[in-house]
Structure 1
Protein backbone atom coordinates (compact mmCIF):
# COMPACT_ATOMS: atom_id res chain seq x y z
CA UNK A 1 0.00 0.00 0.00
CA UNK A 2 2.85 2.37 0.82
CA UNK A 3 4.42 1.89 -2.62
CA UNK A 4 1.08 2.60 -4.30
CA UNK A 5 0.58 5.77 -2.28
CA UNK A 6 4.06 7.01 -3.14
CA UNK A 7 3.28 6.66 -6.86
CA UNK A 8 0.01 8.60 -6.50
CA UNK A 9 1.83 11.84 -5.92
CA UNK A 10 4.56 11.47 -8.52
CA UNK A 11 3.38 8.68 -10.78
CA UNK A 12 5.64 6.18 -12.46
CA UNK A 13 8.56 7.57 -14.43
CA UNK A 14 7.76 7.61 -18.14
CA UNK A 15 10.42 5.08 -19.13
CA UNK A 16 9.30 2.62 -16.46
CA UNK A 17 5.67 2.99 -17.47
CA UNK A 18 6.49 2.56 -21.15
CA UNK A 19 8.63 -0.48 -20.36
CA UNK A 20 5.81 -1.99 -18.29
CA UNK A 21 3.24 -1.44 -21.05
CA UNK A 22 5.51 -2.78 -23.79
CA UNK A 23 6.40 -5.81 -21.68
CA UNK A 24 2.73 -6.55 -21.09
CA UNK A 25 1.89 -6.17 -24.78
CA UNK A 26 4.81 -8.38 -25.78
CA UNK A 27 3.70 -11.02 -23.25
CA UNK A 28 0.22 -10.98 -24.75
CA UNK A 29 1.77 -11.14 -28.23
CA UNK A 30 4.02 -14.15 -27.62
CA UNK A 31 1.15 -16.10 -26.04
CA UNK A 32 -0.26 -16.37 -29.57
CA UNK A 33 0.74 -19.29 -31.78
CA UNK A 34 2.34 -17.43 -34.70
CA UNK A 35 3.20 -19.58 -37.70
CA UNK A 36 2.61 -17.28 -40.66
CA UNK A 37 1.82 -13.66 -41.59
CA UNK A 38 -1.92 -14.06 -41.01
CA UNK A 39 -1.31 -15.21 -37.43
CA UNK A 40 1.13 -12.33 -36.89
CA UNK A 41 -1.29 -9.77 -38.33
CA UNK A 42 -4.15 -11.16 -36.22
CA UNK A 43 -2.00 -10.88 -33.10
CA UNK A 44 -1.14 -7.24 -33.91
CA UNK A 45 -4.82 -6.43 -34.54
CA UNK A 46 -5.77 -8.13 -31.27
CA UNK A 47 -3.27 -5.96 -29.40
CA UNK A 48 -4.66 -2.78 -30.94
CA UNK A 49 -8.20 -3.93 -30.18
CA UNK A 50 -7.22 -4.53 -26.54
CA UNK A 51 -5.49 -1.17 -26.21
CA UNK A 52 -8.36 0.74 -27.85
CA UNK A 53 -10.93 -1.03 -25.66
CA UNK A 54 -8.94 -0.39 -22.47
CA UNK A 55 -8.42 3.34 -22.99
CA UNK A 56 -11.75 5.14 -23.18
CA UNK A 57 -11.66 8.23 -25.36
CA UNK A 58 -8.25 7.46 -26.84
CA UNK A 59 -7.91 5.34 -29.93
CA UNK A 60 -4.82 4.34 -31.79
CA UNK A 61 -4.60 3.87 -35.55
CA UNK A 62 -3.74 0.37 -36.70
CA UNK A 63 -0.67 0.22 -38.97
CA UNK A 64 -1.14 -0.61 -42.62
CA UNK A 65 -0.89 -4.29 -43.61
CA UNK A 66 2.23 -3.52 -45.67
CA UNK A 67 3.93 -2.08 -42.57
CA UNK A 68 2.91 -5.14 -40.55
CA UNK A 69 4.27 -7.41 -43.32
CA UNK A 70 7.66 -5.64 -43.24
CA UNK A 71 7.76 -6.04 -39.45
CA UNK A 72 6.76 -9.72 -39.76
CA UNK A 73 9.58 -10.40 -42.20
CA UNK A 74 12.06 -8.65 -39.92
CA UNK A 75 10.64 -10.46 -36.86
CA UNK A 76 10.76 -13.82 -38.61
CA UNK A 77 14.42 -13.49 -39.60
CA UNK A 78 15.52 -12.16 -36.20
CA UNK A 79 17.10 -14.39 -33.60
CA UNK A 80 14.92 -15.46 -30.67
CA UNK A 81 16.62 -12.95 -28.36
CA UNK A 82 16.04 -10.07 -30.82
CA UNK A 83 12.34 -10.75 -31.56
CA UNK A 84 11.16 -8.76 -28.55
CA UNK A 85 13.26 -5.76 -29.62
CA UNK A 86 11.83 -5.92 -33.17
CA UNK A 87 8.28 -6.03 -31.77
CA UNK A 88 8.85 -3.16 -29.31
CA UNK A 89 10.53 -0.98 -31.96
CA UNK A 90 7.60 -1.60 -34.32
CA UNK A 91 5.04 -0.69 -31.66
CA UNK A 92 6.93 2.48 -30.67
CA UNK A 93 7.16 3.66 -34.30
CA UNK A 94 3.72 2.68 -35.52
CA UNK A 95 1.41 3.28 -32.55
CA UNK A 96 -0.03 6.70 -33.29
CA UNK A 97 -2.93 8.39 -31.57
CA UNK A 98 -5.87 8.71 -33.91
CA UNK A 99 -6.42 12.35 -34.87
CA UNK A 100 -9.50 14.06 -36.20
CA UNK A 101 -8.86 16.04 -39.33
CA UNK A 102 -10.51 19.40 -40.07
CA UNK A 103 -12.91 18.02 -42.67
CA UNK A 104 -14.35 15.49 -40.19
CA UNK A 105 -14.76 18.13 -37.51
CA UNK A 106 -16.43 20.62 -39.85
CA UNK A 107 -18.73 17.92 -41.27
CA UNK A 108 -19.75 16.91 -37.75
CA UNK A 109 -20.61 20.49 -36.84
CA UNK A 110 -22.34 21.55 -40.07
CA UNK A 111 -24.37 18.43 -40.91
CA UNK A 112 -27.02 18.46 -38.11
CA UNK A 113 -28.37 21.97 -38.86
CA UNK A 114 -28.14 21.27 -42.60
CA UNK A 115 -30.04 18.00 -42.13
CA UNK A 116 -32.82 19.81 -40.24
CA UNK A 117 -33.06 22.48 -42.94
CA UNK A 118 -33.15 19.83 -45.67
CA UNK A 119 -35.86 17.92 -43.83
CA UNK A 120 -38.00 21.05 -43.38
CA UNK A 121 -37.56 21.94 -47.05
CA UNK A 122 -38.36 18.38 -48.11
CA UNK A 123 -41.59 18.35 -46.12
CA UNK A 124 -43.06 21.07 -48.33
CA UNK A 125 -42.27 19.23 -51.59
CA UNK A 126 -45.23 17.02 -52.59
CA UNK A 127 -43.02 14.17 -53.84
CA UNK A 128 -41.20 14.04 -50.48
CA UNK A 129 -44.22 14.15 -48.13
CA UNK A 130 -43.07 10.77 -46.79
CA UNK A 131 -40.15 12.53 -45.09
CA UNK A 132 -42.62 13.92 -42.48
CA UNK A 133 -43.10 10.41 -41.08
CA UNK A 134 -39.41 10.11 -40.12
CA UNK A 135 -38.83 11.60 -36.66
CA UNK A 136 -36.14 14.25 -36.29
CA UNK A 137 -34.47 12.10 -33.61
CA UNK A 138 -33.76 9.44 -36.25
CA UNK A 139 -33.24 11.62 -39.33
CA UNK A 140 -30.59 14.04 -38.01
CA UNK A 141 -28.21 11.49 -36.42
CA UNK A 142 -28.59 9.20 -39.45
CA UNK A 143 -27.75 12.01 -41.86
CA UNK A 144 -24.80 13.06 -39.68
CA UNK A 145 -23.40 9.52 -39.47
CA UNK A 146 -23.81 9.06 -43.22
CA UNK A 147 -21.97 12.33 -43.88
CA UNK A 148 -19.15 11.43 -41.46
CA UNK A 149 -18.73 7.98 -43.02
CA UNK A 150 -18.66 9.52 -46.48
CA UNK A 151 -15.98 12.02 -45.46
CA UNK A 152 -13.88 9.33 -43.77
CA UNK A 153 -14.09 7.00 -46.79
CA UNK A 154 -13.35 9.78 -49.27
CA UNK A 155 -10.29 10.82 -47.21
CA UNK A 156 -9.02 7.23 -47.18
CA UNK A 157 -9.48 6.94 -50.95
CA UNK A 158 -7.62 10.19 -51.57
CA UNK A 159 -4.79 9.51 -49.14
CA UNK A 160 -4.25 6.02 -50.35
Structure 2
Protein backbone atom coordinates (compact mmCIF):
# COMPACT_ATOMS: atom_id res chain seq x y z
CA UNK A 1 0.00 0.00 0.00
CA UNK A 2 1.90 3.03 -1.22
CA UNK A 3 5.41 3.59 -2.39
CA UNK A 4 8.43 3.34 -0.13
CA UNK A 5 9.90 6.58 1.17
CA UNK A 6 12.95 6.37 -1.12
CA UNK A 7 10.82 6.27 -4.27
CA UNK A 8 8.70 9.15 -3.03
CA UNK A 9 11.81 11.20 -2.20
CA UNK A 10 13.02 10.80 -5.79
CA UNK A 11 9.69 12.20 -6.98
CA UNK A 12 10.08 15.24 -4.72
CA UNK A 13 7.67 14.18 -1.97
CA UNK A 14 9.11 14.88 1.47
CA UNK A 15 10.10 11.80 3.42
CA UNK A 16 10.57 10.99 7.08
CA UNK A 17 13.96 12.72 7.27
CA UNK A 18 12.69 15.92 5.65
CA UNK A 19 9.57 16.12 7.79
CA UNK A 20 11.29 15.66 11.15
CA UNK A 21 13.90 18.32 10.59
CA UNK A 22 13.86 22.02 11.33
CA UNK A 23 10.44 23.41 10.59
CA UNK A 24 8.31 20.74 12.28
CA UNK A 25 10.39 20.71 15.45
CA UNK A 26 10.43 24.51 15.57
CA UNK A 27 6.68 24.64 15.00
CA UNK A 28 5.75 22.28 17.83
CA UNK A 29 8.52 22.40 20.44
CA UNK A 30 10.97 25.30 20.13
CA UNK A 31 8.93 28.19 21.57
CA UNK A 32 6.62 26.11 23.72
CA UNK A 33 6.74 25.49 27.44
CA UNK A 34 7.37 21.75 27.63
CA UNK A 35 8.98 21.55 31.06
CA UNK A 36 6.41 19.13 32.45
CA UNK A 37 5.63 15.82 30.82
CA UNK A 38 1.97 16.81 30.46
CA UNK A 39 2.89 19.86 28.34
CA UNK A 40 5.45 17.86 26.38
CA UNK A 41 2.92 15.08 25.75
CA UNK A 42 0.34 17.57 24.41
CA UNK A 43 2.94 19.07 22.07
CA UNK A 44 3.96 15.57 21.00
CA UNK A 45 0.37 14.57 20.22
CA UNK A 46 -0.08 17.73 18.12
CA UNK A 47 3.22 16.94 16.38
CA UNK A 48 2.04 13.40 15.57
CA UNK A 49 -1.25 14.70 14.20
CA UNK A 50 0.60 17.18 11.99
CA UNK A 51 3.16 14.55 10.99
CA UNK A 52 0.44 12.16 9.78
CA UNK A 53 -1.24 14.91 7.73
CA UNK A 54 2.00 16.06 6.05
CA UNK A 55 2.49 12.63 4.50
CA UNK A 56 -0.93 11.73 3.12
CA UNK A 57 -1.80 8.06 3.12
CA UNK A 58 0.85 7.24 5.69
CA UNK A 59 0.22 6.40 9.33
CA UNK A 60 2.94 5.98 11.87
CA UNK A 61 3.15 3.97 15.06
CA UNK A 62 4.57 6.05 17.85
CA UNK A 63 6.31 4.95 21.04
CA UNK A 64 4.18 4.16 24.07
CA UNK A 65 3.79 6.57 26.96
CA UNK A 66 6.47 4.94 29.15
CA UNK A 67 9.13 5.25 26.45
CA UNK A 68 8.08 8.82 25.80
CA UNK A 69 8.32 9.71 29.50
CA UNK A 70 11.83 8.22 29.67
CA UNK A 71 12.85 10.27 26.64
CA UNK A 72 11.31 13.42 28.14
CA UNK A 73 13.44 13.09 31.28
CA UNK A 74 16.63 13.12 29.17
CA UNK A 75 15.30 15.73 26.78
CA UNK A 76 14.17 18.19 29.48
CA UNK A 77 17.69 18.64 30.88
CA UNK A 78 19.35 19.26 27.49
CA UNK A 79 19.96 22.72 26.02
CA UNK A 80 17.93 23.94 23.00
CA UNK A 81 20.27 22.86 20.16
CA UNK A 82 20.79 19.53 21.91
CA UNK A 83 17.03 19.07 22.35
CA UNK A 84 16.41 19.46 18.65
CA UNK A 85 19.11 16.95 17.74
CA UNK A 86 17.93 14.48 20.42
CA UNK A 87 14.32 14.78 19.23
CA UNK A 88 15.16 14.19 15.57
CA UNK A 89 17.31 11.15 16.42
CA UNK A 90 14.62 9.79 18.73
CA UNK A 91 11.93 10.15 16.06
CA UNK A 92 14.06 8.47 13.41
CA UNK A 93 14.77 5.53 15.72
CA UNK A 94 11.34 5.06 17.34
CA UNK A 95 8.67 6.15 14.88
CA UNK A 96 7.90 3.56 12.22
CA UNK A 97 5.37 3.27 9.43
CA UNK A 98 2.27 1.49 10.69
CA UNK A 99 1.96 -2.07 9.49
CA UNK A 100 -1.43 -3.05 8.16
CA UNK A 101 -2.49 -6.68 7.89
CA UNK A 102 -3.95 -6.85 4.39
CA UNK A 103 -4.96 -10.50 4.69
CA UNK A 104 -8.22 -9.59 6.44
CA UNK A 105 -9.16 -7.20 3.60
CA UNK A 106 -8.24 -9.74 0.94
CA UNK A 107 -10.32 -12.46 2.59
CA UNK A 108 -13.28 -10.10 2.96
CA UNK A 109 -12.95 -8.97 -0.66
CA UNK A 110 -12.79 -12.54 -1.95
CA UNK A 111 -15.45 -14.10 0.24
CA UNK A 112 -18.03 -11.30 0.25
CA UNK A 113 -19.24 -11.58 -3.37
CA UNK A 114 -19.83 -15.33 -3.13
CA UNK A 115 -21.44 -14.94 0.29
CA UNK A 116 -23.70 -12.19 -1.05
CA UNK A 117 -24.98 -14.37 -3.89
CA UNK A 118 -25.50 -17.36 -1.58
CA UNK A 119 -27.32 -15.18 0.96
CA UNK A 120 -29.51 -13.70 -1.75
CA UNK A 121 -30.43 -17.12 -3.19
CA UNK A 122 -31.08 -18.67 0.21
CA UNK A 123 -33.09 -15.61 1.22
CA UNK A 124 -35.67 -16.47 -1.43
CA UNK A 125 -36.67 -19.62 0.46
CA UNK A 126 -36.38 -18.39 4.07
CA UNK A 127 -39.64 -16.65 5.12
CA UNK A 128 -37.98 -14.29 7.62
CA UNK A 129 -35.56 -12.98 4.98
CA UNK A 130 -38.10 -13.10 2.15
CA UNK A 131 -40.11 -10.24 3.68
CA UNK A 132 -37.12 -7.87 3.02
CA UNK A 133 -37.54 -8.58 -0.73
CA UNK A 134 -33.78 -8.84 -1.31
CA UNK A 135 -34.50 -10.77 -4.52
CA UNK A 136 -35.70 -7.51 -6.12
CA UNK A 137 -32.24 -5.89 -5.84
CA UNK A 138 -30.13 -6.55 -8.97
CA UNK A 139 -26.88 -8.45 -8.43
CA UNK A 140 -24.88 -5.58 -9.95
CA UNK A 141 -25.88 -3.45 -6.97
CA UNK A 142 -26.27 -6.07 -4.25
CA UNK A 143 -22.85 -7.75 -4.61
CA UNK A 144 -20.71 -4.55 -4.57
CA UNK A 145 -22.68 -3.16 -1.62
CA UNK A 146 -22.20 -6.40 0.35
CA UNK A 147 -18.48 -6.42 -0.55
CA UNK A 148 -18.11 -2.81 0.58
CA UNK A 149 -19.88 -3.58 3.86
CA UNK A 150 -17.59 -6.58 4.42
CA UNK A 151 -14.46 -4.50 3.81
CA UNK A 152 -15.76 -1.77 6.12
CA UNK A 153 -16.37 -4.46 8.74
CA UNK A 154 -12.81 -5.74 8.31
CA UNK A 155 -11.53 -2.19 8.78
CA UNK A 156 -13.59 -1.78 11.94
CA UNK A 157 -12.28 -5.07 13.33
CA UNK A 158 -8.70 -4.05 12.60
CA UNK A 159 -9.17 -0.61 14.16
CA UNK A 160 -10.77 -2.18 17.22
CA UNK A 161 -7.90 -4.63 17.59
CA UNK A 162 -5.32 -1.84 17.23
CA UNK A 163 -7.20 0.27 19.77
CA UNK A 164 -7.23 -2.60 22.27
CA UNK A 165 -3.50 -3.17 21.70
CA UNK A 166 -2.76 0.52 22.33
CA UNK A 167 -4.80 0.56 25.56
CA UNK A 168 -2.96 -2.35 27.17
CA UNK A 169 -1.18 -1.22 30.33
CA UNK A 170 2.59 -1.06 30.11
CA UNK A 171 4.70 -2.72 32.72
TM-score calculated relative to the size of structure 1: 0.67
- Deviation per CA, 1:13-33: give whole Å up to 9, x if none: x9xx93674111210122433
Runs of 4 or more, structure 1, over 6 Å off, are none
Q: How does 1:138-153 map to 2 (within 5 A)?
A: 138-153=145-160
Q: Is the 8 A contact 1:45 1:62 kept in 2?
A: no
Corresponding pairs, count: 148
Q: Displacement of 1:108 after TM fit?
A: 4.7
- Deviation per CA, 1:29-81: give whole Å up to 9, x if none: 22433243232222222222212212222222233222222222221233444
User: Paired residue for 1:18?
Assistant: 17
Stretches of structure 2 lacking an aligned partner (at least 5 in a row) = 1-9
User: C-alpha root-mean-square deviation of aligned residues, in Å?
Assistant: 3.6
Q: How does 1:63-142 map to 2 (within 5 A)?
A: 63-113=63-113, 116-117=116-117, 119-121=119-121, 123-124=123-124, 125-129=126-130, 130=132, 132=134, 136=142, 138-142=145-149
Relative to 1, partners in 2 of residues 1:78 and 1:84: Cα closer, same or farther, differing over 3 Å?
A: same
Q: Is the 8 A contact 1:103 1:151 kept in 2?
A: no
Stretches of structure 1 lacking an aligned partner (at least 5 in a row) = 1-9
TM-score calculated relative to the size of structure 2: 0.63
User: Which stretch shifts more, 56-65 or 100-109?
Assistant: 100-109
